[in-house]
Amino acid sequence: MENVKTKSGLCFEAFNKQVEGKQTSICVLSNKKGTEAVITNYGAKIVSLMVPDNKGEWVDVVLGHASIDDYLTSGEPTFGATCGRYANRIAKGRFELDGTVYDQLPINSGPNSLHGGLRGFHFRVWDMEQLDAQTVRLTYVAADGEEGYPGELTAVLLYHLTDENEMVISYQATTTKPTVVNLTNHSYFNLSGEGDRYIGDHVLTIHADAYLPTDETAIPYGPLEKVAGTPMDFTEPHEIGERINENFQQLIFGKGYDHCYVLNKEENEMALASRCYSPKTGIVMETYTTEPGIQLYTANWLNESIIGKNGHPYPERCSFCLETQHFPDSPNKPEYPSTVLRPGETFQSQTVYKFTVE
């Protein structure tokens, strides 16, 4: 399959490699409209996502790399990734559960543990089985004690591309010991195309009246704050870049947006969380989720040295993430929705990214 390429120009052979004794590869999902998603089992990542714009041209709306070698050496290991066992941050790499203190989580983001540690799920080779032309199942079994977390955790992920141009992501997890779980997809989106250099013109709405303000290390204080009257307010449509450089402490801490929004929804309810629109292509992405929060991140720490697909550099603020999830540092904040999973229980979560045009 050396010369066979996907619609987005990816070569199958470039993703065939032995990594830590397991074989990496890609699979292609396509629907009746010709929309195409390419998935790799390295980190259960979305490598490309080709959707039509308002002129009928195909646009790749996610950042990523053209080979496994590029992913292995990337300056940003979370492009398109599934993050776990605990996505986002846990303060000081420690938490207490049922009277036992777990304080050996790797510190990899200031004084905190981020996205499951030094070798989180986005660095692991998952078992991958394509179920049909539009569905793939990925499975990863994390050992008891891996990255400092208790319990052998079996995570199962389904990517399903519907004929309505929805990317449906379904998560399940079970454990052998009480543990904490927070899984998310960390795709970097640019609805003008992954080579476009700035998402400040994208128009964003987030259905959240409140967000979690953080300290300078991106750990929430605890209590939520209302977005009204602040540049954090996306309850009405705003360009992402409209207020991103304002002299507002939360934006200064993060060099832009990097905050969890508390969604206006009931627990476990599947509801519309956000809507984003590119005026260049007319592509609209709606995000639906069962999760209580969504992390808006505006790629504030990318830089020109990161080269992606098609030789495109990925500079600061060339993309945005809308990571559906439970709240950062929930294991240390009992007032937040619980992230505890116990033996005999099944963690379940679902997120839908739906693409249309206007």
Q: Which residues are catalytic?
A: 186, 323
On the question of a cis peptide bond just before residue 85, with omega within 30 degrees of 0, the verdict is: yes
For 267-274, which contacts have Cβ atoms below 8 Å and span 24 or more sequence positions?
267/292, 267/337, 270/350, 270/352, 271/207, 272/207, 273/206, 273/207, 273/208, 273/322, 273/324, 274/204, 274/205, 274/206, 274/207, 274/234, 274/322
Nearest C-alpha neighbor of 25 from the set 1, 58, 3: 1
N-term to C-term CA, the chain:
37
What contacts 254, CB < 8 A, 6 or more positions away? 214, 218, 300
Q: Name the DSSP class of 175.
A: E
Task: Map tokens 């693409």 to a residue.
Answer: 355
- Strands 17-19, 22-24: pairing is antiparallel
Neighbours of 103 (CB within 10 A): 11
